[in-house]
Amino acid sequence: PGTKRLPQAIVVGVKKGGTRAVLEFIRVHPDVRALGTEPHFFDRNYDRGLEWYRSLMPRTLDSQITVEKTPSYFVTKEAPRRIFNMSRDTKLIVVVRNPVTRAISDYTQTLSKKPDIPTFEGLTFRNRSLGLVDTSWNAIRIGMYAVHLESWLQYFPLSQIHFVSGEKLITDPAGEMGKVQDFLGIKRVITDKHFYFNKTKGFPCLKKSESSGLPRCLGKSKGRTHVQIDPEVIEQLRDFYRPYNVRFYETVGQDFRWE
């Protein structure tokens, strides 16, 4: 039953921030239907057209919201304009986390697929003794949130963008998901009783999914042990990100306490 609609809400970023968790948590809500895979429509598949995009969506009833997530949208120059052209009312969700931790997580994921890549330090700096960070490396670039946000604010007001703290998503999933539900204008159905903390993985899991009575945790690729990085490199990166973080906090009116 129901019809396939273009999404009213999109999780647009960021990679390794906790977007999969947000999607899995929100789809427990009876008023939400979400596309499980990342369609990459507004970055890679735009030429396929809106009807192709719509055809991927789950069927929804009038009372339900359609959601999709593709974390690379946040850093795609054309994405804000393209989403705006689809619907200026689209609600946008951005899951952010400490950019230093995010970069290490990103590198850890790449390393698991390509074991022969250069070291984290080697990719981070153009000149380490001068502390020159290589902003062309994607793992570094993504964490410059204030820079990417500017493109979005040319098309969407801040009131249409909701920022989820990747850190709080781990320590207080019900609280963070409560705010997401408020933002989407749906009843707070997902609460503390939906979560338990998985000590092995180091993050919260759903007690049961919508389809079965069994506990549901994110896949093997989530909660990987991060590569050990020289503390001095971490310090240099903290210094690099600080001004971007401050600008980001000021723009969104929220202090994520990454210092």
- Binding-site residues: 16-20, 97, 105, 222-226
Cα distances (angstroms) measured from residue 171 to each of 102, 108, 176, 197: 17, 22, 9, 9
| Tokens 């989403």 sit on residue | 83
**List of E strands, the chain:** 3-4, 9-13, 32-34, 59-60, 65-69, 91-96, 125-127, 132-133, 161-165, 195-198, 203-206
Closest residue by Cα to residue 145 from 242, 239, 224, 227: 242
Measure the CA–CA gap between 69 and 11, rounded to whole angstroms: 4
Binding-site residues for 3'-phosphoadenylyl sulfate, in ranges, read: 16-20, 97, 105, 222-226
Contact 32, 186 (CB under 8 A): yes
Is 168 catalytic? The answer is no
Identified catalytic residue from 15, 16, 69, 91: 16
| Tokens 């970055």 sit on residue | 43
- Rounded to an integer, what is the distance from CA 62 to the centroid of its chain? 27
Catalytic residues: 16
